[in-house]
Amino acid sequence: MLIIPIPIPGKLVCKLIETLEKSVAGYLAPWQILRIAGASLESERRDKLLSAQTEKDVELIKQGKAVLDSQFNLIPNPEIDNTANNYIKTARSNQTIKTMIKELNIGKAILHAKETLKDDQSTPSEEAVDQDWLTQWFEYAGLVSEEKLQQLWGKILAGEVKSPGKYSLRTLNLIKQLNKKDAESISKLAPFMLDNFIVSEADSVMNLPAELLLHCQELQLIQGVGGPSLRHAFVSMYADRFAITLTFGDKLFIVTSSDPKKENLILPVYSITSIGKEVVNLINSNIDETYLIEIGKYITRQGFNVQVSTK
DSSP class of residue 304 equals -
For every one of its 311 residues, what pLDDT tens digit does the chain have, with 9 covering 90 and above?
334 344 456 788 888 888 887 776 555 554 454 455 444 434 454 455 455 556 666 666 666 666 555 444 555 666 544 444 554 455 455 666 677 778 778 888 888 898 889 888 888 888 999 989 999 999 999 888 888 888 889 999 999 999 999 999 999 998 898 888 888 899 899 999 987 899 999 999 999 999 999 999 999 999 999 888 799 999 998 888 899 998 887 889 999 998 878 888 999 999 999 999 888 888 777 889 999 999 999 999 999 999 998 87
Residue type, 32: Q
Start-end of H helices in 190-222? 203-206, 210-218
Which distant-in-sequence residues (6+ apart) come within 8 Å of 280 by Cβ?
186, 190, 193, 221, 272
For 11, 32, 44, 140, the CA distances from 6, given in Å and listed in that order, are 15, 21, 12, 33
For 83, 211, 276, the CA distances from 280, given in Å and listed in that order, are 54, 19, 6
d(CA 256, CA 306): 7
Surface-to-core class of residue 101, CB atoms within 10 Å of its CB (0-12 exposed, 13-18 middle, 19+ buried):
middle
Ramachandran angles phi, psi of 195, nearest 5°: -60, -45
The strand pairing partners of 234, in sequence order, are 265
